[in-house]
Structure 1
Amino acid sequence: MKFFIVLYLEKKIHLSNLSGVVPNKGQFPMAVGGQELFQCTGPMCRYAEDLAPMLKVMAGPGIKRLKLDTKVHLKDLKFYWMEHDGGSFLMSKVEQDLILAQKKVVVHLETILGASVQHVKLKKMKYSFQLWIAMMSAKGHDGKEPVKFVDLLGDHGKHVNPLWELIKWCLGLSVYTIPSIGLALLEEKLKYNNEKYQKFKAVEESLRKELVEMLGDDGVFLYPSHPTVAPKHHVPLTRPFNFAYTGVFNALGLPVTQCPLGLNVKGLPLGIQVVAGPFHDHLTLAVAQYLEKTFGGWVCPGKF
């Protein structure tokens, strides 16, 4: 969650979900189990043109799976868009500023670029958070269980009781932050049993198939990066599941580029995410560079 807030406040461009391209070696904590497939490192830059060079430096042999040097003709792409997740009760409603920014992009692509743009309703997107939980709690191909957050808090085997730490925090005695304590408390409650896992695994497979078939080799999907503009400190604690707007694409294993779309009247960054089919990062990067030039790109916070 903190990573996403930094991304929004700094108004930077970000490329995510590079599983099979960028190695996880050297990460801490190391991804284990299903997390190894769905959590991976990607570059974050001020300008979209810097993403591809950064990616080439970071990537291992898997870079051969991408087509980063392929010329992309944007007017020949098929654009699809969706303004919200369909109404999940777990997440905030998408704010009007973000919806209007997205619609400006759609109108521009249709009228100025002359591209094919289609509004879609992917009903299974409302299960974004549940899909993320299911995939993050999955065992790896080697049968290993994912690392528990509470074990990471324990630092090499030290037992941590999240409920006791919450009591200590209320008295100003805990060494842990309230978000970390809250996550540790929720961890066991959110973990799915085998029946629930199989249910949402089937939903994930169905949604991924729907998206992959829709996007093909020449399609991109425009979707909000977050339901709200950059929130004030501590506000995300009251809506902890909003991250699923980006997290769902980790679960689906699809490439995404987060792209700024200028500022609202209060000087807060607006943004959108551009999604493509597996290993079609060159499409999301090309669209991000175009939107950056058209809608302003990175703006120094001190100049507002």
Structure 2
Amino acid sequence: PAHCCGIVGIRPTSGRVPRTGHIVPYGLGPIDSLTTLGPMARKVEDLSLCLPIISGVDWQDPAIIPMPVTDPESVDLEALRIAFFTDNGIATPTPETIEAVQRTAKLLSAIVATAEEACPAPIARTPEIFDRLWSTYAHSWRQKLLLKAGTIDHIDPAERKKVFPAMSLVDVAEEVGRFRSEMLGFMANTDILICPVNAYPAMPHGSEDANMPAFSYTMTFNLTGWPVVVVRAGTSPEGLPIGVQIVARPWCEHEALALAQQIESALGEWPQPPL
């Protein structure tokens, strides 16, 4: 949504912000990382102010870890190692999207330790893993949510009886674990990863299913559970905003926010629309 609207947003590390009271519950097993909550705002500064307020143990959501929220002002930008890529090999972005990532990387290369073009190899498996995870686990969660809302009659009877063998559940959980481990291996020598949010700017409502590969750029980090900040970095020929993802290692939101602040200052803040 932040990418489509030209504002900023943050997806905190899975396990930082409690989901208590939210329509999407906690305790969903391997799909828990898909239900992370995070704010959107007009400015990066607002995200930095909001994150500490909504973070921390609430003694109800069992997945929450009491990790401190570090101030973005404390980040040593000159020590950061950045990697960036413009195409994940799944959905090729528009030329303007590629340009936005390249512009961002060039901007940051002047203020960080290193900036090199590199794409983690496991990313190529994102759609397959996400599809298996979603179809195997999310079906049960969706059914429970519809039951809670009193809309069970809207579920196709065949879908209502859909079951999966226990071994397939184990297989999917193991596959997700391997994916996360391999992705972490890439970040051993990288602090920040810069990439597109989507292959396209905002699309017409209802066209998502036909363009699902374009969403693979965010699917990857929903699977890993890592923190991501989205900030505007370009504009399409139609005048639509184009954002970039600033992906950090687990619990390092402060580093992503610090770089987002630099991008926002250099490439332009949220523009006030004419009234």
Number of the residue aligned with 1:57: 53
3-state SS in 1 of match to 2:153: coil
Gaps of 5+ in 1: 140-144, 165-183
Counterpart of 2:119, as a letter, is: K
Alignment deviations for residues 258-296 of structure 1 (CA, whole Å, 9 cap, x no partner): 111132332110111011111011111111111111111
1:294 aligned onto 2:240: no
Number of the residue aligned with 1:205: 177
**Segments ≥4 residues shifted beyond 6 Å:** none
Q: Which residues in structure 2 correspond to 1:146-185 (within 5 Å)?
A: 147-156=140-149, 158-162=151-155
Structure 1 residue 138: Cα displacement: 7.2
Gaps of 5+ in 2: 58-64
3-state SS in 2 of match to 1:148: helix
Counterpart of 1:85, as a letter, is: N
Counterpart of 1:97, as a letter, is: E
Number of the residue aligned with 2:60: none
> Judging changes above 3 Å, is the alpha-carbon distance between structure 1 residues 218 and 159 closer, same or farther for their aligned structure 2 residues?
closer
> Judging changes above 3 Å, is the alpha-carbon distance between structure 1 residues 205 and 159 closer, same or farther for their aligned structure 2 residues?
closer
Equivalent residues, number: 267
| Aligned 8 A contact 2:122 2:183 in 1 | no
Identity over the aligned pairs, expressed in percent?
Answer: 22
Q: Which residues in structure 2 correspond to 1:32-71 (within 5 Å)?
A: 32-34=27-29, 35-61=31-57, 62=65, 64-68=67-71, 71=74
**Residue of structure 1 aligned with 2:78, choices 75, 90, 105:** 75
Number of the residue aligned with 2:101: 102
Structure 1 residue 255: Cα displacement: 0.9
Counterpart of 2:9, as a letter, is: H
> Judging changes above 3 Å, is the alpha-carbon distance between structure 1 residues 295 and 251 closer, same or farther for their aligned structure 2 residues?
same
| Aligned 8 A contact 1:132 1:251 in 2 | yes
3-state SS in 1 of match to 2:231: strand
| Aligned 8 A contact 1:136 1:251 in 2 | no
Counterpart of 2:5, as a letter, is: E
Q: Which residues in structure 2 correspond to 1:1-304 (within 5 Å)?
A: 4=1, 7-34=2-29, 35-61=31-57, 62=65, 64-68=67-71, 71-87=74-90, 92-110=91-109, 112-113=110-111, 115-136=113-134, 147-156=140-149, 158-162=151-155, 197-216=169-188, 219-302=191-274
Alignment deviations for residues 99-155 of structure 1 (CA, whole Å, 9 cap, x no partner): 111111222233x3364111113222122233334555677xxxxx87532443355
RMSD: 3.2
Structure 1 residue 232: Cα displacement: 2.0
Counterpart of 2:74, as a letter, is: K
Q: TM-score, normalised by structure 2?
A: 0.82
> Judging changes above 3 Å, is the alpha-carbon distance between structure 1 residues 29 and 114 closer, same or farther for their aligned structure 2 residues?
closer
Question: Whole-Å Cα distance in 2 between the matches of residues 75 and 188 of structure 1?
Answer: 56
Structure 1 residue 68: Cα displacement: 2.7
Counterpart of 2:231, as a letter, is: C
3-state SS in 2 of match to 1:235: coil
| Aligned 8 A contact 1:32 1:147 in 2 | no
Counterpart of 1:33, as a letter, is: L
| Aligned 8 A contact 2:81 2:112 in 1 | no
| Aligned 8 A contact 2:247 2:256 in 1 | yes
